[in-house]
Amino acid sequence: MSIIKAPYNFVPLEKKVFYPAWGPLVSHDQPFKDGLSGTLEVELKTHSPIFIANGVLGKDKAIYDSKGKELISSEGGPLAFSHYYDANGDKQYFIPATSLKGMLRSVLEVLSFSKMNFYNDHRYAARDLSSHDNFYMKKMKYQQCGWMKKEGDKYIIESCGEPKRISHKELDDSFGLKMSDYFQGKVSLKYEKTTDGQVSSEYNKYNEQDDYLKSAKHKYELYPKIGLKDVFIARTKDDRGRKVCTLSETETRQKGKVVFTGQPSKRKEPKGGKSSGKVFEFIFPDIGGEQFVVPEEVIADFKFAYFDFDEYQQSHDWKYWKKRLEAGKEVPVFFIEEKGKIKSLGYSYLYKLPFKHRIGDYFKDQRLNELDLSQCIFGNVDEGDQKNSLLMLKGRVQFSHANFIKKDDDDLEGETVSAVLSSPKASYYPSYIDQGGETKVPYRQPYKTYMDDPKRVNLAGRKRYPIHQNFSYEKLPSTNGINRKILSHFKPLKEDLTAKFKVHYHNLLPEELGALISAITMHGTDSCFHNLGMGKPLGFGKVKLHLKTEEIENRKVAAYMGQFEFLMQQFFSDEGFEKRWLNSDPLKELLAMTTVQKQLYDFNPKYMKLKDFRSAKNENKKKGTMKEALVRYTKLGAVSPDKTETNGGQALTPITRGNARIELIKKALVLKTKAEAVKKGLKKEKPKAEERRKQIERLAEERRKEEERRAKAEEEREQKRKDDAAEREKKKKELDDEIAKNKRSYPFPNPQVKGLFSATLSYLDYDPIPEAEEEKFMQLFKDSFQLVLKENKRTQATWIPSKKKKMEHTEFFKFLKKCFKDEAKAKEWYEVIVKS
């Protein structure tokens, strides 16, 4: 039977997540009445070479890819194992606590039916040419072409409509080239190769094994006078639904530009046989079409599909066009537009098409505001769009590093390894989506993909690497003919080494401690191994954990695991399952993949080759081949260990007898009742809390508006004060200038005195004479009065009262009233000035 053989498989997810009843009650401040605290001592033994990259700064620092996940190489040699130097300067190897914690948490998540807590919520893309009627080919029939440029943070596409094609031979005839011969491998051509700003001359035949020679960038270097240059389209004919052009400047004035795309394989034109391989390039017509603003999410999917996040996976063309785009220049793109909106785009005609759904869409039913058992024990950080304080919890277990024990002066390092360590490709749906077949997908049944409704499709589950039976350096895959740039070089530690670490636990319920012990011991299954570190698909990292039980007696270890088992069995039964928790699909697959399989079947398959990924999707009725899919490990013949085993001579489930079982049931019911009461209270409080939140928001908005109003009023008052001060300063200067001018012209006639006083009134139009200016004004009036006395009697009459005219009727007194806006003050000044 035809099945996909891969070095990995999946533990399926249970349909129902287990949320412990005491989840809302977990606290570091209020311990459980029967909470347990202490330390577990664990011994780790390597059963194959193991490698964990050094993360310490220094000469052995590892170099990662741009996401910080895939290890590439290290400075000056192979990657070094995680280590430090002690006080004596000796190198000490260790396994970081984070690696140990991650290894055990992944196991506990399976055992406790926890949520899928860690995944990359990407929208993957695919280019699937395996069938003319699959989801990809049905969609990729409506591409337009156009020119995209970047304006600020926006990307604009000007449409050129339907792309036209032009053959290599037509380009050869029009421009005197040897393009057709070159891509058939008949001739060598010299070209200028540009790498990181450096230009070098190359002289090569086309080689489809060389990624650079397959790129569009290579064509632009071969034919710099043609690519992206204006040409005149003579005629266009329809060739199997494709618009194929010829060129001539004399026949038409319709312009276009020649656009190159990659050359994935050599062109073959056998005599009498069927030709194969690409033979056309593209013409983008110059029609001045409609412009579109590309949505941000489409640009994000576009960048992700071309590995913009990881320069080590980026193609030559992506780097070439990105540099041009960032420089503000136009780049040629193909795109699909629906109802006036760009839905997807790429740099080739058959570009990678983003799937409809993200990974997270398939876990929406798990996004409840509750903590699963792994989160209750190991802690959790809510990274959702709406942070929920109920899901923020510090872990109640802490791990130490695992330090290796040296034997005499033995060197712990093994041989240097060079290997290809591929990154997960979750976009490969025949493996990562449960296709539902026992061994293969039926003939006419289409693949389930990320285009399908998440309610009708299940992901394959949690990815794991099955344990290898034996390891041998000689059996590692050959690296002959492999591009050296994609090889990882590392130096693992030997097998049969021992390391020790501690797990400190705080305020764990007996069931939780049992779950932690089960994760360490694979629920007491002696035949199971853990795997850890890099190279797990090649057999590296096979380790065995032994729980040192000096603190906890063997029977108590079994009892704690028994309590955990009973808890899970009770949940399993409550959900209507007839079989035991130990025989559930997740546990069967986990235990099978962590057990050495001794059957004849090859349970250590190697990495798939590129051609295998393609051929697995092909269906040929004539040859009787079907579409292939990855099936569960146990359906391949792998055997899960019999759980009648014992640990240390003690039965695993002593609580199934007598009073212990009754007490546990009582305690479980009490906890469940408490939790339900807490949930009920939270449910009742939720509307009140929501109303309080809205009220607080309303009050905050009112305060904000009032503060804005006050600030605006204060700003207006301040501006008025500034304007008034400026006006007073202006009038004051004018008065000072007038006073100075008239003083210089003493003695002056009466009109000048009147003018002087008019300026005074103009200056004092807004405010009375300020106290600081009184002395100056008093002297001014005294001087003016002395001048008036020298004038004629008619002038004097306006200042000095006569027998018939009182002081209040004189012009001078009226003037003083205007100056002070105070009659008493005016009388006081009048008497002082006149008597002087």
Residue 747 is predicted with a pLDDT of 38
Beta strands of 153-267 (E only): which ranges? 154-161, 164-167, 188-195, 198-205, 230-239, 242-247, 255-259
Average pLDDT over residues 155-184: 92
CA 762 and chain centroid, separation: 70
Rounded Cα distance, 13 and 114, in Å = 9
Rounded Cα distance, 62 and 810, in Å = 101
**Is residue 160 pLDDT above 90, yes or no?**
yes
* Model pTM above 0.95: no
Rounded Cα distance, 330 and 285, in Å = 15
Tokens 């009065």 sit at which residue? 785
**Is residue 637 pLDDT above 70, yes or no?**
yes
Range 29-33 contact pairs with CB under 8 angstroms and sequence separation of 24 or more: 31/507, 32/507, 32/509
The identity of residue 800, as a single letter, is I
Confidence band, pLDDT 50/70/90 cuts, at residue 424: low
Side-chain half-sphere CA neighbours of 4 within 13 A? 32
Residue 284 is predicted with a pLDDT of 94
Confidence band, pLDDT 50/70/90 cuts, at residue 639: confident
Higher pLDDT, 57 or 827: 827
Average pLDDT over the chain, rounded to an integer? 79
- Domain boundaries, given as residue ranges, for the chain: 9-117+372-416+430-656, 125-354, 745-836
Higher pLDDT, 719 or 628: 719
* Residue 610 vs residues 318, 353, 439, 607, 614: alpha-carbon distances, Å: 21, 19, 21, 10, 7
Q: How many CB atoms lie within 10 A of CB 430?
A: 21
* Residue 157 vs residues 83, 94, 161, 539, 827: alpha-carbon distances, Å: 52, 54, 11, 49, 85
Rounded Cα distance, 735 and 732, in Å = 5
**Tokens at 109, concatenated:** 């998540």
Q: What share of the chain is helix, strand, coil (3-state, %, to 5)?
A: 35, 20, 45
**Tokens at 161, concatenated:** 């409509």
Q: Which among 564, 586, 103, 112 has a CA at the least distance from the CA of 371?
A: 112
Rounded Cα distance, 571 and 113, in Å = 10
Confidence band, pLDDT 50/70/90 cuts, at residue 345: very high
Average pLDDT over residues 582-592: 88
Rounded Cα distance, 547 and 501, in Å = 10
Rounded Cα distance, 763 and 732, in Å = 6
Residue 123 is predicted with a pLDDT of 83
Confidence band, pLDDT 50/70/90 cuts, at residue 578: low
Average pLDDT over residues 447-455: 85
Beta strands of 250-401 (E only): which ranges? 255-259, 280-285, 291-293, 331-338, 341-346, 353-354, 397-399
Using CB atoms within 10 Å of the CB of residue 342, give its burial: 0 to 12 exposed, 13 to 18 middle, 19+ buried.
buried
Higher pLDDT, 660 or 303: 303
**Tokens at 766, concatenated:** 């807004």
Residues 127 and 353: beta-carbon distance below 8 Å: yes
Average pLDDT over residues 491-515: 92
Tokens 């200067």 sit at which residue? 733
Beta bridge partner(s), residue 77: 74
Using CB atoms within 10 Å of the CB of residue 285, give its burial: 0 to 12 exposed, 13 to 18 middle, 19+ buried.
buried
Confidence band, pLDDT 50/70/90 cuts, at residue 166: very high
**Tokens at 481, concatenated:** 């003919």
Rounded Cα distance, 627 and 425, in Å = 19
Rounded Cα distance, 800 and 278, in Å = 116
**Tokens at 277, concatenated:** 């391989």
Phi, psi of 585 (to 5 degrees): -60, -45
Q: Which among 254, 242, 250 has a CA at the least distance from the CA of 288?
A: 254
Beta strands of 272-368 (E only): which ranges? 280-285, 291-293, 331-338, 341-346, 353-354
**Is residue 304 pLDDT above 50, yes or no?**
yes
Count of positions (residues) in the chain: 836
Beta bridge partner(s), residue 36: 508
* Residue 250 vs residues 132, 254, 285, 701, 712: alpha-carbon distances, Å: 40, 11, 17, 71, 71
Tokens 């001060």 sit at which residue? 725
Rounded Cα distance, 526 and 252, in Å = 82
Confidence band, pLDDT 50/70/90 cuts, at residue 444: low
Residue 647 is predicted with a pLDDT of 35
Q: How many CB atoms lie within 10 A of CB 190?
A: 9
Lowest mean pLDDT among 1-5, 64-68, 397-401, 676-680: 64-68
CA 328 and chain centroid, separation: 26
Confidence band, pLDDT 50/70/90 cuts, at residue 740: low
**Is residue 282 pLDDT above 90, yes or no?**
yes
Lowest mean pLDDT among 358-362, 468-472, 802-806: 802-806
What would the pLDDT profile of 588-623 be if each residue is shown by its tens digit?
899 989 988 875 455 556 677 767 777 777 766 655
What would the pLDDT profile of 652-682 be if each residue is shown by its tens digit?
333 333 344 445 545 655 665 666 666 666 6
- Which span out of 234-243, 391-400, 623-632, 793-802 was modeled with the highest average pLDDT? 391-400
Higher pLDDT, 659 or 123: 123
Tokens 């949505």 sit at which residue? 295
Residue 154 is predicted with a pLDDT of 92
The identity of residue 191, as a single letter, is Y
Rounded Cα distance, 790 and 495, in Å = 125
Side-chain half-sphere CA neighbours of 494 within 13 A? 11
CA 323 and chain centroid, separation: 23
Average pLDDT over residues 796-822: 74
Q: Rg of the chain's alpha carbons, rounded to an integer?
A: 43
**Is residue 225 pLDDT above 70, yes or no?**
yes
Rounded Cα distance, 289 and 466, in Å = 55
